Chains A and B, each alone.
Chain A
């Protein structure tokens, strides 16, 4: 029995528990700013895009942040750590309403809602971004990884800058 058959044969309840754990780990990695570990949640050829809802709904190709390989994600991390200039901040993310759409061959389609809160120095915590994730996961060596993660945000205006991933 291969690993992916393993995930596919899980009961819905067990699969849901695995996903809950995966999303909790993903969020903890980002909230705790362990950015170097973040690309490891993705496959080598992963697509990761943060997209304004209006672009998504009109089928417009430009994203606010566009990654088309793990290398792109790693370059984002280098920018966060070394090259970008930005104010210190905390971000806290809540992912909820995780919904399993089902398997398409060996790919698992999942939907989830998210909210991200940002706290800047001397300022009240604010809602930074709210939206949904369209995720495609695959089994890589016995663990689920994001092959595609589309973060589609409702928020009409980004409050100043988007520094940390969602």
Chain B
């Protein structure tokens, strides 16, 4: 494969627009990023608690099934019959004792091993599979699987570093802050199709700078704002990131004077929508972006996994799984349901993002030779910055991206 373009000589302080549209770049991303040495998010264990439970999902753009076998083990297999490629699993969530392809009824156990092929020996000594056809050579392709505190990751690569090393110590601590061993309970799904390149979504959640300008709700109610105490943390490779902050007040100060989005006298007609309670230690917001396909959202009391599913260079699905904890108080549960109004395709905050991301794609689509300027907070990146006026986590992402993609 030949990539026709050259990355700008300025390096990671410039983002060339062809990376958001070029089909060859997209094909290389599938191969090196989503099918490469990465741990992709696939499920919460709470979605498939008992033997035989399965979830149909997608890594990059490749359909897979996550299934719990009789021994309680988790398996991730391609959703593609080994015979003729039929996508045998057609429901989001379900329960099975085995998987049978409807076309020719090739049958697999819950670990993805082929256990039956009809007419294997032919009929009346006629036809059938060759004598040396071995079931064991024709199972479903299996991915590597790892779980941590109820979260399931999978990898197409034969060898990947342990998840703990993959995330690094700082990210692991933030991950464990939400996934602290308590049993998680799924509260609902939301799926949206965003007509833009998947990387624009990651950039959005690695970019604290825009939040203080674009989002009236975050700014006005102090949920995430540049004059709040805050941190931007990335791992040592640059691929993962976290935006961290503490909630501030709804008032004008010298530090937020430039934020036109702060409406000092703006109040909700029904303030019960936005009455967060302190739930986690220290920070009130941690938004994690984990290479290659996951955003973990903890904004006040609203918790969600946002999974990126690529659908070609100019489209991706953002699949939201909202969750809470099993046995949590009704009052807290109710706050999560109310605060979910901030998030998702109709979210008071998130809809600004999906709209603006589309505007980005529309603007850059016809200008592959154009470049984005990424100089807020400098031209390089550090593992930790204690303010929001930076695009450092985007630069670090592209630093790693360029190494993986050899661009």
Residues of A in contact with B (beta carbons under 8 Å apart): 50, 52, 54-55, 58, 60-66, 68-72, 74-75, 78-79, 82-87, 156-163
Chain B residue numbers with a CB within 8 Å of A74 are 269-270
| Complex Cα–Cα for A54 and B195 (A) | 23
Tell me how far the C-beta of B89 lies from the nearest C-beta in chain A, rounded to whole angstroms.
16
Interface residues in B192-225 by Cβ distance below 8 A to A read: 192-195, 214, 216-217, 220
| Complex Cα–Cα for A64 and B317 (A) | 16
A63 contacts B337, C-beta separation under 8 Å: yes
A-B contact pairs, 14 of them (CB 8 A): A52-B189, A54-B189, A62-B337, A63-B188, A64-B344, A66-B341, A69-B270, A84-B348, A87-B358, A158-B191, A158-B345, A161-B192, A161-B345, A163-B351
| Complex Cα–Cα for A65 and B359 (A) | 23
| Complex Cα–Cα for A156 and B352 (A) | 21
Asked if B333 is an interface residue, CB under 8 A from chain A, the answer is yes
A160 contacts B192, C-beta separation under 8 Å: yes
| Complex Cα–Cα for A68 and B338 (A) | 9
Chain B residue numbers with a CB within 8 Å of A68 are 270, 272, 338
Chain A residue nearest to B352 (CB atoms) is A85
Tell me how far the C-beta of A52 lies from the nearest C-beta in chain B, rounded to whole angstroms.
6
Tell me how far the C-beta of B294 lies from the nearest C-beta in chain A, rounded to whole angstroms.
19
Q: A74-B269, A87-B359 are in contact. Are A160 and B187 (CB under 8 A)?
A: no
| Complex Cα–Cα for A97 and B249 (A) | 49
| Complex Cα–Cα for A13 and B336 (A) | 43
Asked if B275 is an interface residue, CB under 8 A from chain A, the answer is no
Q: Name B's interface SS.
A: mixed
| Complex Cα–Cα for A82 and B265 (A) | 13
Q: Which of B216, B217, B263, B355 is in CB contact (< 8 Å) with A160?
A: B355
Chain A residue numbers with a CB within 8 Å of B338 are 66, 68
B273 contacts A75, C-beta separation under 8 Å: yes
A83 contacts B186, C-beta separation under 8 Å: no
Q: Which of B92, B93, B193 is in CB contact (< 8 Å) with A159?
A: B193
Contact with A along B79-96 (1 / 0, CB 8 A): 000000000000011000
Chain A residue nearest to B190 (CB atoms) is A64
Contact with A along B269-295 (1 / 0, CB 8 A): 110110000000000000000000000
Chain B residue nearest to A56 (CB atoms) is B188
Chain A residue numbers with a CB within 8 Å of B3 are none
Chain B residue nearest to A71 (CB atoms) is B270
A162 contacts B345, C-beta separation under 8 Å: yes
Chain B residue nearest to A162 (CB atoms) is B346
B348 contacts A60, C-beta separation under 8 Å: no
Chain A residue numbers with a CB within 8 Å of B344 are 64
Tell me how far the C-beta of A148 lies from the nearest C-beta in chain B, rounded to whole angstroms.
15
Chain B residue numbers with a CB within 8 Å of A79 are 217, 348
| Complex Cα–Cα for A122 and B319 (A) | 27
Asked if B146 is an interface residue, CB under 8 A from chain A, the answer is no
